[in-house]
């Protein structure tokens, strides 16, 4: 009686040994480091690594270890002072084509990292870092949509040969169309209702001329707002990759705000610069009807503009925007089977597809440009280089619009919902452009309205207090269990220790983020884990008091208490799942560790402790139990 089959012991070993291995990386510390990644088509290779190391050596800046992976280069230093010197030097050396970010790099041994062993991520409250609260300019998104509708309305009316005088955006909101007469207005209404049903139309008359005022419907406004928030969150997540942040938090707050938390980020200025960039994409036709050289000399024709090309030189484009990044629903890099060149495969939404089909069908053999537009915020400075302050003492911000042409390929055929962009230098550039088209542009401007920094020392205090609370809780439980249940209590405490190891291993393996509320969840798990053993041990005591043999008491104690333990843990697990689904960030952290702790504690408290008890007492005659 009370003997496990061999496969159950093998199962316990297969759980405990990997748990110990994957929890082990958390015992190693972190080094202050610098991470270097390329921007757009620029990549970090061994040649650049050698160049950086030579520059550091010439400046007498010593590094502890340097490594290169598919994300970029990582250099580790002995302390933060050397780290800051290295960062400043490399930023000057590499210029704007590379991102040089400060960070904390784990010191996990290579053999452990080789099997996927990495430390768990620590949240902002434990590791330190920066917290941003950003507000999305929803009104700006509406204005951009109206600008787009101005072009769409002109195109739709021209297509059906409806005579109109002007189409212009109204400052108070909406688009105003001025017609020649009432008949043309009625024809225009029919065209707009058919082609752009999301617009609401209202009649107006001024100066003896009929007008239509088109406004975006309430449903379309909701769709624009939702798209702006979703697209901005996706774009921000991709921008955070430039900072090398392991586990950022990017989540919506309310109907127009986004919270961004960057644990471990030391270079808050760089984080603010990258996250605060406002950008979009626009597709325009290349103006091949006018002379580029004349435009370069200052004679730019009306309806056209000169823009800088990313690869150098300038190009003359027509001002009218065909469609923007808002209309791109998917983009993927690939190789053209015909030419072997790098291309980007684009998928448009229904509106973009209709516009694309109409425009490209009329312009086969001509060039179409992809323009990247970025709004940069800069602090206004006086002649002495000092920031200019407003009446409230805040720095005055200036906005600067930067436009450059990514590529301007030739239209080979009429395009529709799916097409490809050619003329790219490499697959790397194609991948960057695909990423930019998918999620690299902000659908609406954002403004950082709140910024908080949690210092590493405060984070370390939280870690120390959290560790101390877990340790005190564990020791109190240990003392109580051993005094009250003797050998059985010692077995339960050993299972509890393994349970803590398994929780850390699962957090590390799945790269979950441990926060201060998560530590509270672990502390709660310590008490709940021994609760199952208390039920079992009390049942064994009852059976012994009723006159059953020790072996029968162990068997009945585990079997009869099982249903109660499972019921209690499942109800708690349901509560934890509800907390995770409906709670905010800190509550989610608590729910995650609580859920993991419930699952691991059921294994260690039921399967694990019974396995040890069976090894000690099973298969032999026992007169008395140490319980």
Buried b (16+ CB within 10 A) or exposed e, 123-155: bbbbbbbbbbbbbbbbebbbbbbbebbbbbbbb
502 Cβ neighbours under 8 A, 6+ residues apart: 15, 16, 19, 23, 600, 603, 604
| Strand (E) or helix (H) holding 353 | helix 350-362
Q: pLDDT tens, 256-279?
A: 888 888 776 666 666 666 666 555
Task: Answer yes or no: is pLDDT of 375 > 70.
Answer: no
> What's the pLDDT band for 605 if we cut at 50, 70, 90?
confident
Q: pLDDT tens, 390-421?
A: 777 767 767 677 788 877 888 888 877 887 77
Lowest mean pLDDT segment, chosen from 46-50, 100-104, 250-254, 559-563:
100-104
Paired tokens of 42: 């620029």
pLDDT, residue 17, reads 92
Q: Are strands 121-122 and 513-514 parallel, antiparallel or unpaired?
A: parallel
> What's the pLDDT band for 521 if we cut at 50, 70, 90?
confident
Task: Answer yes or no: is pLDDT of 491 > 70.
Answer: yes
Paired tokens of 129: 């870092």
Task: Answer yes or no: is pLDDT of 423 > 60.
Answer: yes
pLDDT, residue 114, reads 82
Q: pLDDT tens, 528-557?
A: 778 888 888 888 888 888 888 888 888 888
The SS3 of residue 68 is strand
Max mean pLDDT among 5-9, 181-185, 381-385 falls in 181-185
Average pLDDT over residues 224-242: 77
**Dihedral of the alpha carbons of 303, 420, 417, 157, in degrees to the nearest 10:** 10
CA–CA distance, 401 with 623 (Å, rounded to integer): 86
Q: pLDDT tens, 70-127?
A: 778 888 888 878 888 888 888 788 876 677 777 777 888 888 888 888 888 777 777 7
pLDDT, residue 231, reads 78
Task: Answer yes or no: is pLDDT of 314 > 60.
Answer: yes
Q: Which of 416, 420, 410 is nearest to 366 (CA)?
A: 410
Average pLDDT over residues 332-340: 78
Whether the CB-CB separation of 236 and 251 falls below 8 Å is answered with no
Task: Answer yes or no: is pLDDT of 575 > 80.
Answer: yes
φ/ψ of residue 541, rounded to 5: -60, -40
Q: Which of 149, 154, 199 is nearest to 327 (CA)?
A: 149
HSE-CB at 457 with a 13 A cutoff on CA atoms is 1
What domains can you pick out in the chain, each with its CATH number?
6-24+457-617 (1.20.1640.10), 29-107 (3.30.70.260), 139-218 (3.30.1360), 279-441 (3.30.1360.200)
Q: pLDDT tens, 194-224?
A: 888 889 999 988 888 899 999 999 888 888 8
Helices (H) and strands (E) in the chain, counts: 17, 22
pLDDT, residue 40, reads 56
φ/ψ of residue 494, rounded to 5: -65, -40
Q: pLDDT tens, 347-370?
A: 887 888 888 888 888 888 888 888
Burial class (CB in 10 A: 0-12, 13-18, 19+), 312: exposed
Across the chain, mean pLDDT equals 81
Whether the CB-CB separation of 424 and 39 falls below 8 Å is answered with no
Q: CA angle at residue 606 from 605 to 607, to 5 degrees?
A: 110
Task: Answer yes or no: is pLDDT of 332 > 80.
Answer: no
Q: pLDDT tens, 27-66?
A: 887 788 888 877 655 678 888 888 889 989 988 988 888 8
Q: pLDDT tens, 378-393?
A: 677 777 767 787 777 7
Task: Answer yes or no: is pLDDT of 428 > 60.
Answer: yes
**Dihedral of the alpha carbons of 477, 479, 483, 486, in degrees to the nearest 10:** 80
pLDDT, residue 377, reads 62
pLDDT, residue 408, reads 85
Whether the CB-CB separation of 107 and 29 falls below 8 Å is answered with yes
Task: Answer yes or no: is pLDDT of 241 > 70.
Answer: no
Task: Answer yes or no: is pLDDT of 484 > 70.
Answer: yes
Task: Answer yes or no: is pLDDT of 10 > 60.
Answer: yes
Paired tokens of 514: 């441990």
CA–CA distance, 104 with 540 (Å, rounded to integer): 51
pLDDT, residue 292, reads 87
Q: CA angle at residue 246 from 468 to 512, to 5 degrees?
A: 55
Whether the CB-CB separation of 263 and 248 falls below 8 Å is answered with yes
Lowest mean pLDDT segment, chosen from 144-158, 234-248, 332-346, 532-546:
234-248
> What's the pLDDT band for 450 if we cut at 50, 70, 90?
confident
DSSP 596-613: HHHHHHHIIIIIIHHHHH
């Amino acid at each position: 009686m009370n003997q496990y089959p061999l496969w159950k012991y093998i199962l316990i070993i297969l759980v405990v040994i990997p748990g110990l291995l994957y929890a082990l990386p958390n015992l190693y510390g972190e080094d202050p480091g610098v991470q270097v990644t390329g921007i757009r088509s620029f990549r970090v290779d061994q040649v650049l690594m050698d160049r950086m190391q030579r520059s550091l050596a010439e400046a007498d800046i010593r590094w502890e270890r340097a490594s290169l992976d598919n994300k970029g280069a990582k250099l580790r230093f002995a302390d933060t002072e050397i780290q800051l010197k290295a960062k400043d030097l490399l930023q000057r050396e590499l210029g704007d084509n590379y991102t040089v970010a400060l960070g904390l790099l784990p010191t996990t041994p290579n053999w452990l990292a080789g099997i996927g062993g990495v430390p768990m991520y620590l949240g902002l409250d434990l590791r330190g870092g920066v917290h941003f609260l950003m507000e999305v300019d929803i009104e700006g998104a509406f204005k951009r949509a109206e600008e787009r509708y101005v072009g769409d309305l002109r195109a739709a009316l021209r297509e059906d040969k409806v005579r109109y005088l002007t189409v212009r955006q109204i400052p108070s909101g909406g688009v105003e169309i001025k017609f020649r007469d009432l008949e043309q207005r009625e024809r225009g209404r029919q065209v707009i209702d058919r082609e752009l049903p999301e617009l609401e139309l209202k009649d107006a008359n001024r100066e003896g001329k009929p007008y239509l005022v088109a406004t975006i419907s309430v449903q379309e406004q909701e769709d624009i707002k939702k798209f702006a928030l979703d697209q901005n969150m996706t774009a921000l997540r991709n921008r955070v990759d430039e900072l090398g942040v392991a586990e950022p938090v990017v989540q919506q707050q309310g109907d127009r705000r986004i919270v961004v938390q960057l644990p471990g980020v030391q270079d808050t200025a760089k984080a603010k610069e990258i996250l605060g960039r406002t950008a979009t994409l626009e597709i325009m036709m290349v103006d091949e009807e006018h002379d580029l050289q004349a435009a370069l000399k200052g004679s730019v024709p009306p309806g056209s503009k000169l823009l800088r090309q990313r690869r150098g030189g300038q190009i003359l484009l027509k001002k009218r925007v065909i469609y923007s990044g808002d209309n791109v629903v998917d983009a993927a890099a690939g190789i053209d089977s015909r030419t072997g060149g790098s291309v980007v495969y684009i998928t448009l939404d229904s509106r973009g597809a209709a516009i694309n089909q109409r425009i490209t069908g009329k312009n086969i053999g001509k060039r179409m440009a992809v323009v990247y537009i970025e709004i940069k915020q800069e602090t206004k400075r006086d002649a002495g280089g000092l920031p200019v302050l407003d009446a409230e003492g805040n720095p005055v911000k200036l906005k600067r619009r930067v436009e450059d042409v990514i590529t301007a390929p030739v239209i080979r055929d009429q395009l529709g919902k799916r097409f490809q962009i050619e003329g790219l230098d490499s697959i790397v550039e194609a991948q960057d452009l695909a990423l930019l088209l998918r999620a690299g542009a902000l659908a609406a401007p954002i403004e950082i309205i709140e910024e908080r920094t949690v210092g590493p020392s405060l984070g370390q205090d939280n870690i120390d207090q959290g560790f101390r609370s877990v340790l005190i809780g564990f020791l109190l439980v240990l003392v109580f269990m051993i005094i009250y249940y003797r050998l059985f209590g010692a077995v339960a405490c050993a299972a509890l220790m393994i349970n803590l190891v398994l929780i850390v291993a699962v957090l590390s393996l799945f790269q979950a983020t441990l926060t201060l509320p998560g530590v509270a969840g672990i502390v709660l798990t310590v008490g709940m884990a021994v609760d199952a053993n208390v039920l079992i041990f009390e049942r064994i005591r009852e059976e012994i008091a009723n006159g059953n043999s020790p072996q029968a008491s162990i068997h009945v104690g585990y079997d009869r208490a099982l249903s109660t333990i499972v019921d209690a843990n499942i109800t708690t697990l349901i509560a934890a799942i509800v907390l995770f689904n409906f709670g905010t960030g800190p509550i989610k952290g608590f729910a995650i560790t609580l859920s993991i702790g419930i699952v691991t504690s059921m294994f260690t408290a039921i399967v694990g402790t019974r396995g040890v008890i069976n090894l000690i007492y099973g298969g032999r005659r026992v007169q008395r139990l140490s319980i």
